[in-house]
Amino acid sequence: MIVRLLNHVATLVLAVGTLSVAAFAQTFPTDDPVIKQIWTEGMENSQLYPLAQALLDSIGPRLPGSPGNDAAVQWLLSQYERWGISARREQFGTWVGWRRGVTHVDLIAPRVRTLEGTMLAWSPGTEGPVEGGAVIFPDLPDEAAFSSWLPNVRGKFVLFSFPEPTCRPDEVWERLATQESFEHLKNTRDAGRGAWNQRFRKVGARRPTDVMSAIEEAGAFGILTSLWSEGWGVNKVFYTETRRVPALDLSCEDYGLVFRLAENGQAPQIRLEAESEFLGEAPVFNVVAEMRGTEKPEEYVVLSAHVDSWDAASGATDNGTGTVMMLEAMRVLHLAYPSPKRTILVGHWGSEEVGLVGSSAFREDHPEVMKGLHALFNQDNGTWRIDYLKAQGLVAAGEYFGRWFSKIPLEIAQHIDLDIPGTPGRGSDHMSFTCAGAPGFRLQSHYPEYRQYTWHTNRDTFDKIVFDDL
C-alpha cells in the first residue's frame, strides 16, 4: 500500500535531517527491517560531511548561468553514477552566463584601508584598477535637479544605500542599552530610511535601480551599496542591474566609513579592481535521480531541493544542506530499499533563486509525474534539525502524517511540530507543485537565525552547517 512506501521515504528523509540523536536508537515503534536499515546506514555510515565539503568548498557557489552551477550539475551526476543510481540532467532554458573573478577594493585617502566588498552578481568588471572619489546620491527636489547633478558622478563611485547608524544587532541593543537609547536608535533609523527612499522618488524613480542607467551613462566608475542583514558582519548580496560599470556591496562598517567621509567633506578616494566575464547565453539544468518503481512505476514520491545559490559565499544553508540531504537520502534508500513499489525521484532544481524556474519547468514538462504524484518533500532552509511540518492546507494529509509518524523513531518525531491542515506556504520549490494542486510539503527547520545570518548572505559557508542536526 502507498503508506508503506511513504513510511520508508519519510523515515529516511527525517533521519538524514536529524543526526543529533544516538546512532543506536531503541525506540523503534515498528519491526520493519527497512526502517531499521535506513536508520543504521544513515546514522553509522553518513556521507553528509564529505558530500558537503566537496560541494561547498571545492565547487562553491552555484549562481544560475555560472561555471560553478555547471560544475555542481556534473558533480551530482557523477555521485549518482558512482552509487549505481540512474540520474539525468534536464535543460529547462537558458540564463546569462557569467563568471566571477577577483575583486579588490581599497580606501586610499584620507587614510588607507582595504575594504570588505563583494561584487554583485552579473556585474560588469573593471579593465584593470580604477581610482576615484566617492559621492553620495543627494537629496534633490525633482528630475530636473537630478539631470543637473549627473555630471558630478564622472570618475566617481556613487554611494547608493542608506548608511546604517549602527552595525550592532538590535538584540544587543535590547539587552544592553537603556530603553530610551534603544527607542531613540530605532526612531532615528526609521526616519532616516524613509527619508533616504524619498530621495529616489523625488527624482522620478520608483526604486533606486531606476536611476542606475543614467548614472552609468554620466561616466560613474561604479555603484557602492550595502544591504545589512542586521547581524554581526553579515550582508545580503544579490545582483545588479548595471550594464557598464561594476556594482559592489560593502560591509555595513566599511560603507558607513566611506559615507561619513564623503558626508563630512573629507574626500574619500577608492581604488577598485574587479574581474568578471560574461559568457553569453548559458543552458541551465535540473538534475533528476530516479529509482524506478517495481509494481506501480507510474506513481511517484519526490524528494526536492534546489541546487543553485547566490554567490557572495558558498550557499551552504541555502541550499547546500538541502542538496546533500536529498543526495544522501537517495544513497541510503538505494541500499535499504532498492526495489520500491512506486517510483522515487530526487529533483535537484536549478534557478530557484531567480523564481522557482527549474521546478516550475519540471512541473510543466512532466504531466505524468504530476498525475501520479503522491507526495513531494522539499527542504530549503537552514541547517538545524527538521522541527516543523505543515500539511499545506490539505486536510486529508493529516491521516497520512499520523501513519508515517507512527513508524518513525521517537528520537526524530519528538522534535517535530505538525500543523494540520496548515496553510499553503510559499518561498520555495514545493510551491511549484502545491499551486497546481499536488501534495507538496516543506520540511522546515529553525528560521530566525537562518534569516539573519546565512540566508542569501556573505557568511553562508560550510562552517555554518550543524552536521549533528543535518
pLDDT score recorded for residue 12? 58
SS3 content of the chain, % helix, strand, coil (to 5): 40, 25, 35
Q: Is the pLDDT of residue 176 over 50?
A: yes
CATH number at residue 224: 3.50.30
Chain segment 401-449, per-residue pLDDT in tens = 888 888 888 888 888 888 888 888 888 999 999 999 999 999 988 777 8
Buried b (16+ CB within 10 A) or exposed e, 333-365: bbebbeebbbbbbbbbbbbbbbebbbbbbbbee
All three cell numbers of 430: 514545493
Per-residue pLDDT at 1: 34
pLDDT of residue 3: 42
Please check whether residue 273 lies inside any domain of the structure: no
Same domain? 295 vs 420: yes
Task: Check whether residue 411 and residue 442 sit in a common domain.
Answer: yes
Q: Give tens-digit pLDDT for 185-196.
A: 999 999 999 999
Average pLDDT over residues 339-355: 98
Do 309 and 209 reside in the same domain of the chain? no
**Average pLDDT of the chain, as a whole number:** 93
Which ranges of 17-61 would DSSP assign to H, the alpha helix? Answer: 33-44, 48-53
Give the per-residue pLDDT at 370.
Answer: 98
Q: Name, in order, each residue with C-beta under 8 angstroms of 38's C-beta and a sequence gap of 6 or more.
A: 8, 11, 12, 15, 332, 333, 336, 337
The answer to whether position 102 is within a domain reads: no
Q: Cα separation of 320 and 234, whole Å? A: 19
Q: Rounded to 5 degrees, what are φ and ψ at 328?
A: -65, -35
As a whole number of angstroms, the distance between CA 299 and CA 293 comes to 8
Question: Does 204 fall in a domain?
Answer: yes
Torsions phi, psi for 162 (to 5 deg): -65, 135
Q: Are residues 75 and 151 in the same domain?
A: no
The reported pLDDT for the residue numbered 14 is 58
Q: Which residues contact 187 (CB under 8 A, 6 or more apart)?
A: none
Q: Are residues 86 and 117 in the same domain?
A: no
Number of domains in the chain: 2
In a domain, 364, yes or no: yes
**CA-to-CA distance for 53 and 60, rounded, in angstroms?**
9
pLDDT exceeding 90 applies to what percent of the chain? 80
Dist. CA 99–CA 65, nearest whole Å: 8
Q: What is the mean pLDDT of residues 235-242?
A: 97
Instruction: Check pLDDT > 90 for residue 383.
Output: no
Do 178 and 306 fall into the same domain?
no
pLDDT at position 157 is 99
Report the candidate in 307, 337, 313 with the shortest Cα–Cα distance to residue 15: 337
Please, are residues 324 and 380 in contact by the beta-carbon 8 Å criterion? Answer: no
Domain assignment of residue 103, yes or no: no
Q: The CATH number of the domain where 13 resides is what?
A: 3.40.630.10
Whether 325 and 389 share a structural domain? yes
Cα–Cα distance measured from residue 290 to residue 302, given in angstroms and rounded to the nearest whole number? 9
- 233, 267, 301 - which closes a domain: 267
* C-alpha cell belonging to residue 271: 581604488
**Per-residue pLDDT at 147 exceeds 50:** yes
Give the pLDDT score at 295. 98
Cell of 183: 527607542
Residue 104 lies in a domain: no
pLDDT, residue 196, reads: 98
- Indicate the burial class of 33 (C-beta count within 10 angstroms; 0-12, 13-18, 19 or more): exposed
Q: Which three cell numbers stand for residue 289?
A: 535521480
User: Within this chain, do residues 174 and 241 fall inside the same structural domain, yes or no?
Assistant: yes
CA 175 to chain centroid, in Å, comes to: 30
The larger pLDDT score, comparing residue 19 to residue 142, is at 142
Nearest Cα to Cα of residue 290 among 368, 219, 205, 225 = 368
DSSP string of 233-277, one letter each residue: T-BB--B---SSS-EEEEPHHHHHHHHHHHHTT---EEEEEEEEE
Average pLDDT over residues 74-96: 99
What does the CA dihedral 402, 404, 409, 414 come to, rounded to 10 degrees? -40
Query: Does residue 97 surpass a pLDDT of 80?
Result: yes
**Cα 461 → chain centroid:** 11
* Boundary (domain end) residue, out of 234, 267, 300: 267
How long a stretch of residues is the chain? 470
**Predicted pLDDT at 408:** 84
Does residue 7 surpass a pLDDT of 80? no
pLDDT of residue 16: 57
Average pLDDT over residues 315-336: 98
What is the pLDDT averaged over residues 303-314? 98
| pLDDT of residue 9 exceeding 70 | no
Last residue of a domain, one of 236, 267, 298: 267
- Please count the CA atoms within 13 angstroms of the CA of 268 that sit on its side-chain side: 27
Q: Are residues 346 and 426 in the same domain?
A: yes
Is 408 a domain residue? Answer: yes
Top-confidence residue, 335 or 31? 335
Residue 469 CB-half CA count within 13 A: 18
* pLDDT value of position 416: 87
Give yes or no: residues 147 and 203 share one domain: yes
Amino acid identity of residue 421, one-letter, is P
Which residues have C-beta within 8 Å of that of residue 78, sequence separation ≥ 6?
A: none
Q: Is the pLDDT of residue 267 over 70?
A: yes
Statement to judge: residues 160 and 260 lie in one domain? yes
* Confidence check: pLDDT of 398 > 70: yes
Cell numbers 555560472 correspond to: 66
427 and 320: one domain? yes
Q: What is the dihedral of CA 259, 264, 266, 268, to 10 degrees?
A: 10
- Residue 125 structural domain: 111-267
What pLDDT is recorded for position 162?
Answer: 98
d(CA 308, CA 293): 28
Residue 394 has pLDDT above 60, yes or no: yes
Query: How far is Cα of residue 371 from the mean position of the Cα atoms in its chain?
Result: 29
